[in-house]
Amino acid sequence: MSADLRAPTPGLPPVSILMYHQVGVFPAPRTHRALYCRASSFRAQMAYLAAFGYRVISLDAAIAGLFHGAPLAPRSVVLSFDDGYQGFIEHALPALQRHDFPAAVFMVSGLVGRRSEWLAADGRGDTPMLDAAGLRELHAAGITIGSHTVSHPKLSRLDAARIDAELRDSKASLEDLLGAPVEHLCYPFGDYDARVRDAALAAGYRSGLTCIRGAANTADNVFELPRKAISYGDNLIGYAWKLHMKHARKAAVQRY
């Protein structure tokens, strides 16, 4: 299925692409709360989706429905996880498998088996990242592995050659590691511009995920997909509100 810059099909039911980062056990964060989701909250959220008739679908299925005319059920939800933290295997994967939910993990390819150096650089500590064995385990379990660039930069601040290298090298490295295509991109910090979007298309990606808030239906095209951020403080009432009501498009604040 090829990618292009058409808008989503109008009149479809809202599709929520939920944005997670780390899932685990943490002290209550004072800032950057959307970087964290307690494991207990995550389990409750997955149970909520299962109990209340949500259809958790793959990113591929969402794109096929939004842009290519495939059937799309009401209450469709995609689960996306940025950065590629090692804790995903312990804290998120069991809950996903309990409910047979697909998900997409976006990996910083230059930090496979290392630590979250971009967080340490601005004083937010560092966290173990998925290693090669963990990524292969997730791929074998049916988790979509996407690219989150090589080094997690703000892409719009780079020159064209560096943008191209961040996108193409990450894709090639992950494909070599997995022995499978890597077709989806998530922009670090949600930072992109028209040059980045067009470079993603040229590099062979089929989608680009942003930090713009709202239902995926409000995308300008498949390389500018909005999401709904799930934060440390979200109880089930807040979670339900985001799923049911927060469909309108809202500009992102670049903070991740």
DSSP-assigned states of every residue in 151-175: S---GGGS-HHHHHHHHHHHHHHHH
Helix (H) / strand (E) element for 210: namely strand 207-213
Q: What is the CATH number of domain 15-244?
A: 3.20.20.370
Provide the residue-wise pLDDT of the chain in tens; the chain has 256 residues.
567 789 999 999 999 999 999 998 877 767 677 788 999 999 999 999 999 999 999 999 999 999 999 999 999 999 999 999 999 999 999 999 999 999 999 999 999 999 988 776 666 668 899 999 999 999 999 999 999 999 999 999 999 999 999 999 999 999 999 999 999 999 999 999 999 999 999 999 999 999 999 999 999 999 999 999 998 888 999 999 999 988 989 876 555 5
> Please, are residues 199 and 222 in contact by the beta-carbon 8 Å criterion?
no
SS3 content of the chain, % helix, strand, coil (to 5): 40, 20, 40
Where does residue 102 rank: exposed (0-12), middle (13-18), buried (19+ CB within 10 A)? middle
- pTM comes to 0.95
